[in-house]
Amino acid sequence: MKINLAVLAGDGIGPEIITQALETVKAVCSKYSHTLQFEYAPVGAAAIDACGNPYPDATHELCMNSDAVLFGAIGSPRYDNDPTAKVRPEQGLLAMRQKLGLYANIRPVTTFAELLHRSPLRRDLVENADFICIRELTGGIYFGRPQGRAEDGNTAYDTCVYTKTEIERIVRLAYQYAQKRRKSLTIVDKANVLATSRLWRQVAQEIEKEYPEVKTEYMFVDNAAMQIIQNPKRFDVLVTENMFGDILTDEASVITGSLGMLPSASIGIHTSVFEPIHGSYPQAAGKDIANPVATILSAALMFEYAFGLNAEANDIRNAVYQSLKAGIVTEDIVTDGKAYKTSEVGKWIAQQI
């Protein structure tokens, strides 16, 4: 198969973890005789520095013309404490999601036996927890207008908007995932307060009838936040709107033992994007210490979702498990042994494949 990738490394540790994920991609392609082509393009603070735009048109063109996008991370402390900055790195990520029509962000939450002792939760609570969060990614308060400040500067507003069509497509997708798994879907909203949530619930209740074999449960987001730490094993597929999904998936990721382990896939209308769920970890940039595993596992999701190449995806996952077993891990998850560098872990995993 011919595989043509856009590589958007972004900011902070992005370039280092992407380099290692590419080592893995190259190893898999050579093992299975796929022809790999890839091209780098700037995004985020790096792109603002280069051309003043966090998602340049040329980057978008490249994404549109590629089979998949491998994405590192975005964000820079140079902008975080400057509320007056006119252009921000995160706008690049949001523009990419919107322009590529990436309405679904799939975040699998899986646990690793070797890391359970690092979980903030008791082992018996989290062992074998295995669920998927599906976050709506191009609607809600992230994109609703108006957004801004009143003229006097003392009042600010964001607007949460959802249309029936937007809700239908993400809820249907969630049902399809639930059908392929343990047939249980939790729909998370705040229908006791928000009008958008009440529309979510109404639309979901209509679609629910089309999937009688799936057990549907409706849950308020505050309760969901609590259940994720109290009884994470109760979840199979969870679907929710953009902002709730942003918050709940950070919470869900740490119960597995490290934020540095979890991949994600963003899918929708145009090219799909595969990226770790963690951020750009600027304190570690250039130090060769960041955990490359979330990005490497995102590459596994890419083989599976974008190309339907399951053996390739499983090879990557196996190589990652082997690295955990062998203790070839970065400092964030090391227990008593030696901490390996980002590049050492990446090379070991690629070698294993």
Least separation, in Å, of the C-beta of 80 and Mg ion? 14
> Residue 220: beta bridge partners?
189
Kindly tell me which of 252 and 293 has the beta carbon lying closer to Mg ion: 252
Residue nearest to ligand IPM (CB): 90
3-state secondary structure 78-140: HHHCCCCCCCCHHHHHHHHHHHCCCCEEEEEEECCHHHHHHCCCCHHHHCCCEEEEEEECCCH
Interface with Mg ion by CB under 5 A: which residues? 246
**110-117 long-range Cβ contacts below 8 angstroms, 24+ apart:** 110/256, 110/262, 111/255, 111/256, 111/257, 112/256, 112/257, 112/261, 112/321, 112/324, 114/324, 114/325, 115/256, 115/257, 115/258, 115/261, 115/324, 115/333, 116/257, 117/257, 117/335
Kindly tell me which of 107 and 347 has the beta carbon lying closer to Mg ion: 107
Q: Is 331 in the site for ligand IPM (CB under 6 A)?
A: no
Kindly tell me which of 75 and 139 has the beta carbon lying closer to ligand IPM: 75
Which candidate in 190, 281, 288, 332 is catalytic?
190
Catalytic, 157? Answer no
Residue of 45, 48, 265, 253 whose CA lies nearest to 137:
265
State how far the Cα of 89 lies from the Cα of 91, in Å rounded to an integer: 5
Least separation, in Å, of the C-beta of 242 and ligand IPM? 7
Residue of 133, 301, 104, 156 whose CA lies nearest to 228:
133
18 binds, among ligand IPM, Mg ion, none (CB under 5 to 8 A by kind): none
Catalytic, 222? Answer yes
Per-residue DSSP letter, 232: G
Kindly tell me which of 13 and 353 has the beta carbon lying closer to Mg ion: 13
Catalytic, 287? Answer no
Q: Is 93 in the site for ligand IPM (CB under 6 A)?
A: yes
Kindly tell me which of 93 and 349 has the beta carbon lying closer to ligand IPM: 93
Catalytic, 49? Answer no
Least separation, in Å, of the C-beta of 316 and ligand IPM? 22
Q: Is 246 in the site for ligand IPM (CB under 6 A)?
A: yes
Least separation, in Å, of the C-beta of 276 and ligand IPM? 9
Catalytic, 158? Answer no
Which of 72, 75, 108, 346 is in the footprint of ligand IPM by CB under 6 A?
A: 75
Q: Is 90 in the site for ligand IPM (CB under 6 A)?
A: yes
Interface contacts to ligand IPM, rule CB under 6 A: 74-75, 90, 93, 246
Catalytic residues: 142, 190, 222, 246, 250
